[in-house]
A and B are shown apart, each in its own frame.
Chain A
Amino acid sequence: MEIDPFIFRLSIFILSIFIGYYVVWSVTPSLHTPLMSVTNAISSVIIVGAIIAGLAGKSETIFNTSSIFGFLAISLAAINIFGGFLVTQRMLAMYKKKKKSK
């Protein structure tokens, strides 16, 4: 009997939860705010689904309801991607070590 591909995806999912668990516990508490903004940015990889929906229509049906939701989702996710990564970068650039010589 063949295994349903869903089971493989479920395995990836469960194992990723464990990876997430160990990786996030090792994040230093002082970087918890950048952690939130970067997880925000990466969860916007949902833009992949939005692009598929946006490009689904043929040229004459390009603005059907489904594609419009896709287009809107693209913009929302893009705000998050650009905003999330850039603000994380801005924050991380501020974390400096003590200067030894003064």
Chain B
Amino acid sequence: MLSANLSAIFYLISGVLFILALRGLSSPETSRQGNFFGILGMAIAVTVTFLSIGNFSTGFVVVLIFLLIGGLIGAFIAYKIPMTAMPELVAGFHSLVGLAAVFVAIAAFLNPEAFNLGSPGNIKLGSLIEMSIGAAVGAITFSGSIIAFLKLQGIMSGSPITFKGQHPLNALILISIIIITYLLCSTQSSNLFWILLAISFLIGFLLIIPIGGADMPVVISMLNSYSGWAAAGIGFTLENTALIITGALVGSSGAILSYIMCKGMNRSFFNVILGGFGATEQSASAKNKEQKPVKSGNADDAAFLMKNASSVIIVPGYGMAVAQAQHALREMVDTLKKNDIKVSYAIHPVAGRMPGHMNVLLAEANVPYDEVFELEEINNDFANADVAFVIGANDVTNPVAKTDPQSPIYGMPVLDVEKCKSVLFVKRSLSPGYAGIDNDLFYKENTLMLFADAKKMTEDITKNL
């Protein structure tokens, strides 16, 4: 059996290893080593827990069995999941962290002796507060992530669901969570504990349903952050350093990602959370749908334009993920490179459904990461490029964000695609993007619209090159 002090030191070591795991992600070269540190930290934490309890009887076997079942499921999912389904996977994983936090809190509430927190009905006040916070945040993470998962998976409509009195209702529930936590701590009533869990599940659900599909990068980052705070809450209850450090790391990581995503859309965090974006503008844009002239072309025209270019910039978006066009795209780029054409990729911060979504897909298609650039790095290059190839992106290229203060996306950083000599825009139809506004780029002199499925069009262009 490990002494309490010694195990605390080991938990500290695993906390440090987790910090190094995140540190490794500052560059792709060190990232794999970082992941190894993370695995090592986890192995230490789990081993130390077993050793410090020192109970290797029947219970130990049962624990191992449950550990193995979970591990096998997790490993199976990790190997099978296609890269395009990453956002769903991450949302699903968040929900599991949330639920695990809830279960641990329930276990601690029912059997506080096992955690040295007092006896049932007489739990230490501080521990009870920490436990309630962990349980409530965990429950919100769980139900919120389930909704995010359903929306990303397409089981639930990605469009915002709003109803009258939504915000007052949410505010009311949030206030009652605080009141119930207070009452729970003063009465130690188990009924209140269950009510607290139930309304926390409810508010997680209600908070996410009004948020639309393209705001998912913010939502996923936010739920990432919540799962961290839930872990930290439980960490305080268990007086466990590894859990407290990790919770703080994950919590701030998710918060930073949400901030970056909000900035990428020039919207405040509250604006996103309150939801309903795009729902009202849709009708407005439908009204002034006068027919503007659009130039449309086929794969042959596109191939001709690109063959005569000396530099091409590719702008991928969520549509590329939907059409699974990343491999076809890379083949097209390979052919271009053989003709001595310089090709680079431009990624908008909120392209796709989660932070870094496009980068992973391009990496999957064997695109070297030093050909892929962020918005600030590449935006000045559009003016010198011959062709911009927009595949599956829309709002992030809309010049209206720079010119029209009336537009809902005014002020959002956009890729200066229109500065290219010519623009090829692969899209299924002229329908507006997520923000519900028309893209001026469609009607520009130098824009050629390619109406087709992204994958099919890319393959056809490659044939014609």
Contacts of A28 in B (CB 8 A): 25-28
B32 (CB) vs chain A CBs: closest residue: A92
Contacts of A49 in B (CB 8 A): 104, 107-108, 115, 234, 237-238, 240, 243
Binds A, one of B157-165, B269-277, B367-375, B445-453: B367-375
Residue from the list A24, A45, A69, A95 in contact with B28, Cβ < 8 A:
A95
Q: Which of B26, B39, B253, B369 has the most CB of A within 10 A?
A: B253
Give the shortest distance, in Å, between A16 (CB) and chain B (any CB): 3
**A66–B32 contact, CB under 8 A?**
no
Q: Which residues 44-102 in A have Cβ within 8 Å of B in the complex?
A: 44-57, 59, 62, 64-67, 69-99
**B71–A16 contact, CB under 8 A?**
no
Contacts of A59 in B (CB 8 A): 57-59
**B101–A46 contact, CB under 8 A?**
yes
A90 (CB) vs chain B CBs: closest residue: B78
CA of A80 to CA of B101, assembled, Å: 12
Binds A, one of B15-23, B296-304, B311-319, B406-414: B15-23
Residue from the list B11, B93, B254, B363 in contact with A94, Cβ < 8 A:
B363
Residue B231 is within 8 A (CB to CB) of chain A in the complex: yes
Interface membership of chain B positions 53-72, coded 1 if the CB is closer than 8 angstroms to chain A and 0 otherwise: 10101111011001111111
**B100–A50 contact, CB under 8 A?**
yes
Give the shortest distance, in Å, between A54 (CB) and chain B (any CB): 5
Give the shortest distance, in Å, between B113 (CB) and chain A (any CB): 8
**A42–B249 contact, CB under 8 A?**
yes
Residue B399 is within 8 A (CB to CB) of chain A in the complex: no
Binds A, one of B82-90, B171-179, B384-392, B436-444: B82-90
Residue B41 is within 8 A (CB to CB) of chain A in the complex: yes
Residue from the list B113, B247, B248, B257 in contact with A32, Cβ < 8 A:
B257
Contacts of A77 in B (CB 8 A): 70, 96-97, 100
Give the shortest distance, in Å, between B70 (CB) and chain A (any CB): 3
**A12–B245 contact, CB under 8 A?**
yes
**B97–A46 contact, CB under 8 A?**
yes
**B236–A66 contact, CB under 8 A?**
no
**A86–B46 contact, CB under 8 A?**
no
Residue from the list B75, B77, B93, B111 in contact with A64, Cβ < 8 A:
B111
Q: Which residues 23-42 in A have Cβ within 8 Å of B in the complex?
A: 23-42
Give the shortest distance, in Å, between B16 (CB) and chain A (any CB): 10
CA of A45 to CA of B235, assembled, Å: 10
**B103–A73 contact, CB under 8 A?**
yes
CA of A59 to CA of B263, assembled, Å: 55
Q: Given A59-B57, A78-B71, does the pair A45, B349 have CB atoms closer than 8 Å?
A: no
CA of A94 to CA of B368, assembled, Å: 9
CA of A71 to CA of B61, assembled, Å: 11
Residue B99 is within 8 A (CB to CB) of chain A in the complex: yes
Residue B221 is within 8 A (CB to CB) of chain A in the complex: yes
CA of A9 to CA of B354, assembled, Å: 33
**B62–A52 contact, CB under 8 A?**
no
Give the shortest distance, in Å, between B426 (CB) and chain A (any CB): 23
CA of A71 to CA of B250, assembled, Å: 24
Q: Which of B73, B96, B240, B357 has the most CB of A within 10 A?
A: B96
Residue from the list A5, A56, A85 in contact with B42, Cβ < 8 A:
A85
Q: Which of B21, B35, B90, B113 has the most CB of A within 10 A?
A: B35
Give the shortest distance, in Å, between A34 (CB) and chain B (any CB): 6
Residue from the list B74, B228, B234, B260 in contact with A39, Cβ < 8 A:
B228
Given contacts A79-B71, A83-B74, A98-B371, 14 further A-B contacts (CB under 8 A): A30-B374, A31-B31, A37-B93, A53-B114, A59-B59, A66-B111, A66-B114, A69-B106, A80-B74, A81-B42, A88-B35, A89-B35, A92-B35, A95-B363
Q: Could you show 10 A-B contacts with beta carbons less than 8 Å apart?
A: A9-B239, A23-B249, A30-B363, A36-B257, A38-B34, A78-B69, A83-B73, A83-B77, A83-B93, A88-B35
Please list the residues of chain A having a beta carbon within 8 angstroms of any beta carbon in chain B: 5-6, 9, 12-14, 16-17, 19-21, 23-57, 59, 62, 64-67, 69-99
* Closest A-B pairs by Cβ, 7 of them: A78-B70, A32-B356, A56-B114, A83-B74, A82-B74, A16-B248, A53-B107
